[in-house]
Structure 1
Amino acid sequence: MIIRPEAAEDAETLFALTQRAFSQMPYSDGSEGRILNDLRSDGDLTLSLVAEDGGTIVGHVAFSPVRINGEDCGWFGLGPISVAPERQREGIGRKLVDAGLSILEQRGASGCALIGDPALYSKLGFRCNKRLTYGEVPPEVVQFKTLSGQDPEGQLTFAPAFDPKP
């Protein structure tokens, strides 16, 4: 398996993979594929990596800029992250996240934030801090990983692609 940057011709495959990966998740509203496409079309897809095995894309992770207290401070949001349902629990997601965080760190990023299950993301070094918030989202699912500098505090804002659409 190789991890590589997304190529332009991957867009349709990644949309389908993302929709399929989230289709059985009880918390999904089915918008994850649209979010990915909107990040790309809005120019907010800072880093997009795919996991390819035998010529087939089996996983994907996206990173986009986030603001803290309205400021661009070198932080990025993780997501969507997708692994083909039949390939989940093989460590593909972990490899994608580790590769992405390594690249962001090399580029001088301060850290990465996400909204997700603490039991899952704590295994990847993410943690919560009740001083970092995201709207009405319960603080225990607002996760972050500091790459350099201090832990973040304040209101987190993700790229507009994450905003609910009517």
Structure 2
Amino acid sequence: MSIPMELVSGVIGALIGGGFTVAGSWVSIHKQFKEQRKLSFEQEQKQQLTAIFSVHEEVMHNLKVLQRIDSIIESHNEKFLDFSEANAQISFMINRWEKHFDTLRMMDSLKDFRTLNNFYTLLSVTISINYITHEATLTLLEEGNKSDIVLKAYQNFVSKKNQYWKDV
């Protein structure tokens, strides 16, 4: 039994053509996946940096408010300030922390995250009672300064990590 030559050449052509198609598709898909991973990584890094810079700016604002409160308490020789008596609100900001909480929770050091979380927890309590003692002001200033240091270090770390991966 003989197989017609046209059939053999057609089968060989289909196999070779199919092989090239599979190889070309694999290379194309591999490149697309690699590019997608790179884009995802860059987007994640951008989100982290945005969160860090945004929350750091908010921490600095809150530190300035705390410094003003501390100077008022000390200059008037008071033990506390009760903002509700004056129908006023303490002008702390926590919305950026709330917005970027999930991103910052992924910080490489749980201790660093706890430092930030402690600061914002104390701020939230102070906002809710609308009252602050001199001792609480000093504690918040200390925690805020720790948060400032943590965020600066983390900004530096993420920036270096980004540069490393861009160079790779």
TM-score of the two chains, using structure 2 as the length reference: 0.23
Q: Which entry has the higher C-alpha Rg, 1 or 2?
A: 2
Which of the two has greater helix per residue?
A: 2
* Greater RCO (Cα-Cα under 8 Å, separation 6 or more): 2
Which of the two has greater strand per residue?
A: 1
